[in-house]
Amino acid sequence: MRISACLLVFLLSATAGCGGRSSAALPGMPEPATALARSAAPWIPAAQSTFAIQYGGKTLDTNVNAAIYDVDGFDTTAATVARLHGMGRRVVCYIDVGTWENWRPDADRFPKSVLGKPDGHWKGERWLDISRLSVLQPIMSARFKMCARKGFDAVDPDNIDGYENRTGFKLTAAQQLTYDRWVAKRIHSFGLSAAQKNDNDQVADLRSSFDWAVLEECYKQGWCKQFTRYTDDDRLVVDIEYGLKKSEFLDKTCPQTEGYKETALLKHLNLDAWVVTCPASY
């Protein structure tokens, strides 16, 4: 999911009809700020931890019933990360590693030779030639280093499945695996955990490199079960669904993902403040 973010806002509290959990029962909720100092090993979220994700909006709503926030790495300041830590929250750094976004401050670091076809969903975004490791590695390393300097706990690296899309390049599954494994390893080098973002066809090969997972529309597309490779090991898997009716989400998506020990959210495609969460009764 790629969005041109302004600032982050979360509204995952127990609003009417959204089925949010109360703060007293949040799986994976860390202890207050003093316990959030970075340790030698990366923090890895447990299965079924509560999760909030948003890249748009103008203000930060701190009335959030979620243990983890996934926010835009560029738009989120170190002060905001520290404030969330002070509230006992973990914070995930969203970074696009598979497409070029023309609004990013480092956009001019990408040579035109690595810019492919537009990503049809998002204006100003083009696929990257991930086979050009010598070009992309220093740029992405700088991005991950930014996440670490701001105090994030983990990275959500987007678009690690270019080989399955019309990128304008003849990318292979093997090239994608090489790039994705490098992404995870480099994230780990900064003391951060790495989430596998989609790419269900390669989950068997990537599970040993990544720590947990953020998925989009696995229920709608029918591949949520493939990510029990993570939840069986008590690692978080978050499924974000778009465009479903609220009734279908609550009556069908939630029971299925709960059966797989996954955390499901219903969001608008632009990832604004609106959200529906699964009831705690599942």
What is the DSSP annotation of 97-123?
A: SSEEETTSTTGGGS-GGGEEEE-TTST
Pick from 138, 69, 125, 73: nearest CA to 98: 125
> Residue 238 in 3-state DSSP?
strand
Looking at the domain assignment, is residue 143 inside a domain? yes
Bridge partners of residue 241, in order along the sequence: 266
- pLDDT for position 170: 96
Looking at the domain assignment, is residue 146 inside a domain? yes
Helical H segments across 123-170, by residue range = 133-150
- pLDDT for position 60: 66
**Count of structural domains within the chain:** 1
CA distance 156 to 194: 6
Looking at the domain assignment, is residue 113 inside a domain? yes
Looking at the domain assignment, is residue 4 inside a domain? no
pLDDT exceeds 70 at position 281: no
The amino acid sitting at 157 is P
Q: Are 268 and 274 in contact (CB under 8 A)?
A: yes
Looking at the domain assignment, is residue 189 inside a domain? yes
Q: Are strands 90-96 and 99-101 parallel, antiparallel or unpaired?
A: unpaired
**Tens digit of pLDDT for each residue in 134-173?**
999 999 999 999 999 999 999 999 999 999 999 999 999 9
- What percentage of the chain carries pLDDT values higher than 90? 75
CA distances from 81 to 6, 85, 278 (A): 16, 6, 26
Looking at the domain assignment, is residue 17 inside a domain? no
**Buried b vs exposed e over 227-254: b needs ≥16 C-beta within 10 Å?**
bbbbbeeebbbbbbbeebeeeebbeebb
Q: Among 2-16, 53-67, 98-112, 251-265, where is mean pLDDT lowest?
A: 2-16
Q: Are 88 and 64 in contact (CB under 8 A)?
A: no
Which residues form the domain of 83? 23-277
CATH number at residue 105: 3.20.20.70
175-194: average pLDDT: 98
CA distance 67 to 215: 18
Looking at the domain assignment, is residue 106 inside a domain? yes
CA distance 141 to 147: 10
- pTM for this predicted structure: 0.86
Looking at the domain assignment, is residue 18 inside a domain? no
